[in-house]
Chains A and B, each alone.
Chain A
Amino acid sequence: MIKSVNELATRQDAARARFYGDQISIGVGVGTCGLANGSREVLDAIRDEVTKRGLKASARGTGCVGFCQAEPMVDVLVPGLPRVFYHKVSVQRARDLVKGLVEREFHPEWALMRLDHDELLAETDRPLNASLNGLAKVPTADQMPFYKGQLKIALRNCGFIDPGNVDEYLASGGYAALAKALTSMAPDQIIDWVEKSGLRGRGGGGFPTGRKWRSCRKAHGYPKYVLCNGDEGDPGAFMDRSVMEGNPHAVLEGMAIGALAIGSDQGYIYVRLEYPLAVENLAVAIRQAEAEGLLGENILGTGFNFTVRISRGAGAFVCGESTALMASIEGFSGEPRAKHIHTAEKGLFGKPTNLNNVETWANVPVIINKGWEWFAGIGSPGSKGTKVFSIVGKVKNTGLAEVPMGMTLRQIIYDIGGGVDDDRKFKAVQTGGPSGGCLPESELDLPVDFDRLVDAGSMMGSGGMIVMDERTCMVEIARYFTDFLRKESCGKCTACREGCQRMYELLEKITNGAGTTEDVDLLQEVCEYVRDNSICGLGKSAPNPTLSTLRHFRHEYAAHVVDHKCPAGVCPALTTFIIDKEKCIACGRCRKICPVECIAGEKKVPHVIDEARCIRCGSCREICPVDAVVTA
């Protein structure tokens, strides 16, 4: 148990010495993305090989380092050498890597990148030995397009530390911010710093965090609650998952600082049911922090108490809404209520409550450690700091990227994302999840910032960024997201329950080929009704995918209802695929992949699709090496 702030410093130094000492350290990414790619077996194989060969090394599981398509990722830190990341490591390659370590063969040909300085670990400043041992040809993180523009604040430590060992968090300087806040800052000063830093809610609302803390501090009532929203319901969003799995103590430390500032001694982390690993890693972190006196009663011997409990969701997107989340923690069905009386005044159990998103909490310790001016020096005038984006869809580099606010969509998609997959034409980027909007090519130079995105008809949301190419039908995208939202609507208010259902029916009618221009007009009207009459954020933003595509891609709706064609070749009822005889090289790949065997052809004879039997799945178009499959 760490009984004082001085003892904390000593423990941090000891941990640092141990983890950056004379032992080889091997980390295997066992976040959900890694596990899905078989990294558990890789970690087991490495441990087995290390034991068999008597190598002086520790092999631990770490979180996700962000480049999800490169999993399983293994990082190796040999004393005196740069940290090297190996990607797509199979069990066999893992064993060969360990063998290589014994023989001082570092297999640069299997490496993704190296770090000469551990700058991705924001809290440490450990320089690595410049002697490279053949690793000179491995690109540095700075030379990797995916990592070059990134600045890790919320995602610090993810993929570098073992979340199941509090000492690794301490080695990275963990809990120093809490110690600083406890011993040298008054609560009002902490709130002052958070306000001046310009931190805004990272869950999607973008509400100024300091202002929220201040109104909760001013509210009357005991106890006061500090909550973490770990519901992360947006399909395609996994930034919060990455933090909860890979660096759970950052959330705990942030919440403790918030509790100190607001005058709270109790907290809950609400985690969606579908994140069992996040729940497990948070639970372990809480247990270890309490055992060390970093959480619970009499934290660091200062007399400050703060207890955190985990509350699990049960599969409802609406429980990410603040009042529904609180109802759920109370044991009721997740149903929002009107928020004329703010939850900062009357929230959980009718008491003053401060709810923030996982990513927001993860930023707090860094603001306290490095100062509000440092944080306010990053980002754009209205949106300070960084934002984690999940770059997915038709893009070359997929994963989590944390960049300063104000970077443009073009820079994120083309520099970090590497551009559109297969070098196809960019069509749109969907930002903000199902409650966000689609932005066309003309908006690519938009700086990513809370207010600018809203002005353009979208929103930051959780930070999801889905890249779409010419083979994406924007009407189908609107239908897809509306389907998700109408199924997740809690059903309390007429506007959202009935309105989203009717929006869906109209979109389905249009994509099925039976839509009319009157349907498109009615759709616009229903969208505006739902936006203006719903109780909560789910309903208010549910029309966004439809309204933004109606705004930026109206021609596509017109093609569906007037020309009865789907220009992208997606909606089966409005698509006909034909093979361009001039382009076809008769390679036969389409014929082999067709699930209904409706393509006829032989060597040197241009292939032909039997339109009557074609189910418009598009597989032939995907596989054709010369783009000979086109829409009629």
Chain B
Amino acid sequence: MALVKTTIDGHEIQVERDRWALEVAAEMGIAIPTLCHHPALEPYGACRLCVVEVTRGKWTWLTTACDLPIREGLSIRTDTEPVLKARRTALELLWAEAPDAVEIQQLAREMGVLKPRFAQRVKEGRCILCGLCVRVCRDLIGRSALCFSHRGTDRRIGPAFNAATDACIGCMACAAVCPTDAIRVVDEGSVRHMETFHTDLDLAACEVCGKPSVPVKLVEFIRSKLPEDIPVSSLCPKCRRSKTAGTLTDVTLLAAQLGYVAETAAGKGK
């Protein structure tokens, strides 16, 4: 890939053409706030928080840094007044859209927005429609259990027809990536309730202690992805930690025997 020259906040740098500006800036130590961005997923450009000012030739315009490919001669500024004003407005609008999202309120206050000038347009809620849950489920996990439906301010996220879905394997990747903690999951007895998505999953009992912990479907899913000779077990987090510790102890003992490390009481004791 060709190298091109670009300037970010006055610092000139040479990078591979078409790298995303957001990531290049981060490597240079320039932090740009984001909400809908995740390093493991393709950029989406929905939240509009990461906007920067770009100049090329005689043109200057605002655009999102997450999906801006670096090209020769681009000059980017992340800190001008138009940029900060645009970010504040985005946060104002998101605050009024997701009144319970404390992360938005915090970001807003940090940028000097004490309260939005727009009335809450819903009674409650945290979803900012960033799409991370949809995208992680579709592109990383490969289950596509979630999708967008409707449009405009009616746009919402959920399983198809907002009904319980077989595609969900209860892995909770969606809840893990959600920037505003909008996805509620409750484990009760031997059932995992993906409450926000109206889907319940049976939890498999831990092979060692019997406590229900991992969704059956998730175990089956992982089994289907691995070669048959690799064992997949369903262990609860506590027993999994114990097992991993046991494996590590074995490794330490072996390493000591081979002369790589000094034998320790922990290694000998097990």
A49 CB–B CB distance under 8 Å? no
Given contacts A340-B68, A497-B155, A501-B152, contact A491 B129 (CB under 8 A): yes
Q: Separation in Å of the B267 CB from the closest CB of chain A? A: 54
A492 CB–B CB distance under 8 Å? yes
Cα distance A522–B154 in the bound complex, in angstroms = 24
Cα distance A318–B151 in the bound complex, in angstroms = 10
Binds B, one of A295-303, A527-535, A556-564, A586-594: A527-535
Cα distance A494–B47 in the bound complex, in angstroms = 5
Q: Which residue of A lies closest to B43 (CB)?
A: A338
A211 CB–B CB distance under 8 Å? no
Cβ-defined contact, A532 with B86, below 8 A: yes
- Residue of B44, B62, B147 near A532 (CB, 8 A) is B62
Cβ-defined contact, B152 with A490, below 8 A: yes
B247 CB–A CB distance under 8 Å? no
Q: Separation in Å of the A630 CB from the closest CB of chain B? A: 37
Cβ-defined contact, B118 with A493, below 8 A: no
Interface of A is mostly: helix
Cβ-defined contact, B90 with A495, below 8 A: yes
Given contacts A340-B67, A502-B93, contact A493 B152 (CB under 8 A): no
B153 CB–A CB distance under 8 Å? yes
B63 CB–A CB distance under 8 Å? yes
Residues of A488-509 whose CB lies within 8 A of B:
488-495, 497-502, 505
Cβ-defined contact, A488 with B86, below 8 A: no
Residues of A317-342 whose CB lies within 8 A of B:
318, 333, 335, 337-338, 340-341
B96 CB–A CB distance under 8 Å? yes
Cβ-defined contact, A316 with B151, below 8 A: yes
- Residue of A316, A491, A498, A533 near B51 (CB, 8 A) is A533
Q: Which residue of B lies closest to A534 (CB)?
A: B48
Residues of B within 8 A of A525 (CB): 89
Cβ-defined contact, B153 with A494, below 8 A: no
Q: Which residue of A lies closest to B130 (CB)?
A: A494
Residues of B166-215 whose CB lies within 8 A of A:
none
A56 CB–B CB distance under 8 Å? no
Q: Which residue of A lies closest to B49 (CB)?
A: A494
Residue of A492, A494, A525 ringed by the most chain B CB atoms within 10 A: A494
Cα distance A585–B106 in the bound complex, in angstroms = 68
Residues of B60-102 whose CB lies within 8 A of A:
61-64, 67-69, 82, 86, 89-90, 93-94, 96-97
Cα distance A505–B96 in the bound complex, in angstroms = 13
Cβ-defined contact, B48 with A495, below 8 A: yes
Cα distance A495–B90 in the bound complex, in angstroms = 7
Residues of A within 8 A of B47 (CB): 493-494
Cβ-defined contact, A491 with B150, below 8 A: yes
Q: Which residue of A lies closest to B119 (CB)?
A: A505
Residues of B within 8 A of A522 (CB): 117
B159 CB–A CB distance under 8 Å? no
- Residue of A333, A487, A526, A535 near B45 (CB, 8 A) is A535
Cα distance A497–B89 in the bound complex, in angstroms = 13
Given contacts A318-B151, A490-B151, A494-B93, contact A502 B129 (CB under 8 A): no
Please report the total number of A residues contacting B with Cβ < 8 Å.
32
Residues of B within 8 A of A535 (CB): 45
Please report the total number of B residues contacting A with Cβ < 8 Å.
37
Residues of B22-79 whose CB lies within 8 A of A:
44-49, 51, 61-64, 67-69
Q: Which residue of A lies closest to B85 (CB)?
A: A529
Cβ-defined contact, B154 with A491, below 8 A: yes
B268 CB–A CB distance under 8 Å? no
B221 CB–A CB distance under 8 Å? no
Q: Separation in Å of the A486 CB from the closest CB of chain B? A: 6
Residues of B within 8 A of A341 (CB): 69
Cα distance A530–B69 in the bound complex, in angstroms = 22
Cβ-defined contact, A489 with B151, below 8 A: yes
Residues of B within 8 A of A316 (CB): 151
Residues of A within 8 A of B45 (CB): 337-338, 492-493, 535
Cα distance A203–B62 in the bound complex, in angstroms = 25
Cα distance A490–B67 in the bound complex, in angstroms = 19
Cα distance A337–B42 in the bound complex, in angstroms = 12
Q: Which residue of B lies closest to A502 (CB)?
A: B118
Residues of A76-107 whose CB lies within 8 A of B:
none
Cβ-defined contact, B155 with A491, below 8 A: yes
B121 CB–A CB distance under 8 Å? yes
Cβ-defined contact, A494 with B68, below 8 A: no
Q: Separation in Å of the B233 CB from the closest CB of chain A? A: 38
Cβ-defined contact, A488 with B151, below 8 A: yes
Cβ-defined contact, A493 with B61, below 8 A: no
Q: Which residue of B lies closest to A336 (CB)?
A: B45
Cβ-defined contact, A497 with B152, below 8 A: yes
Cα distance A207–B97 in the bound complex, in angstroms = 36
Residues of B within 8 A of A500 (CB): 152
Cβ-defined contact, B94 with A494, below 8 A: yes
Q: Separation in Å of the B132 CB from the closest CB of chain A? A: 13
Q: Which residue of A lies closest to B155 (CB)?
A: A491
Cα distance A40–B93 in the bound complex, in angstroms = 52
Cβ-defined contact, B152 with A491, below 8 A: yes
Cβ-defined contact, A340 with B69, below 8 A: yes
Cα distance A142–B234 in the bound complex, in angstroms = 85
- List the 10 closest pairs (A to B, CB-CB), nearest first: A491-B155, A498-B93, A489-B152, A494-B48, A338-B67, A491-B151, A529-B89, A491-B152, A501-B153, A532-B62
CB<8 Å pairs between A and B, sample of 7: A489-B152, A490-B152, A491-B152, A492-B44, A492-B155, A495-B48, A532-B86
Given A502-B96, A529-B86, output 14 extra A-B contacts at Cβ < 8 Å. Answer: A338-B67, A340-B68, A489-B151, A489-B153, A490-B155, A491-B151, A492-B131, A493-B48, A497-B129, A497-B153, A498-B97, A522-B117, A526-B89, A532-B61
